Amino acid sequence: MQEIKSSVDIDASAAMVWAILTDFASYRRWNPFIRAIAGKPAARSRLTLTLQCQGRQPLSTRCTLTRVREPRELSWRRHRIVPAFLSSEHRFRIESLAAGGVRFHHSEQINGLLASLLGRGWLRATEQDFHAMNHALKTRAERVEANLADAGQKTS
């Protein structure tokens, strides 16, 4: 088993982060890693993802949503080749912080006989892709939240 983890604190509500995360149609406008998702954010739905990993050609892959727990968790499972050889569980988790805002957790657990053959370079590069996505999500959520707050002050 291999695991990649990344997290970032976001000064926005869980509802705001969730709304952005599940608005699959807007990914191409803000997400440098997951460039597109075709499908609906509902448990057991099939998705087609287009991933843009650093230094590699875009990759399209299919997966199945395994958990949709609004506004806290979204995860999917991919089977590459044969599940016993290589499969992965990709997970997003939104944790509310006592001081306000949220911590966004982004992880992938890779299992199967071929998981141990993934090189450190590939794992590090993928972790950097996760960081890039997390920070793009942070920027977008904080900008939208600030714009909403400004609009609320102007109407008061």
The pLDDT tens digits of the residues spanning 77-119 come to 986 666 567 788 899 999 999 999 999 999 999 877 676 767 6
Closest Cα partner for 34 from 45, 49, 16?
49
- Structural domain of 88: 2-155
Tokens linked to 117: 């053959």
pLDDT in tens, 41-62: 999 999 999 999 888 889 999 9
Tell me the HSE value of 127 on the side-chain side, using a 13 A CA sphere: 12
Helices 120-155 and 14-21 cross at an angle (nearest 10°) of 120
CATH code: domain of residue 100: 3.30.530.20
CA 132, CA 44: separation in Å to the nearest integer? 27
Q: Residue 18 gets which letter from DSSP? A: H
Tokens linked to 83: 């599940």
134 within 8 A of 4, measured Cβ to Cβ: no
- Average the pLDDT over each of 46-60, 69-83, 137-151 and give the range with the smallest value: 69-83
- Cα of first residue to Cα of last residue in the chain, in angstroms, is 54
Rounded to whole angstroms, the maximal C-alpha distance in the chain is 60
Mean pLDDT, residues 27-33: 96
* Structural domains of the chain, count: 1
CA 91, CA 2: separation in Å to the nearest integer? 14
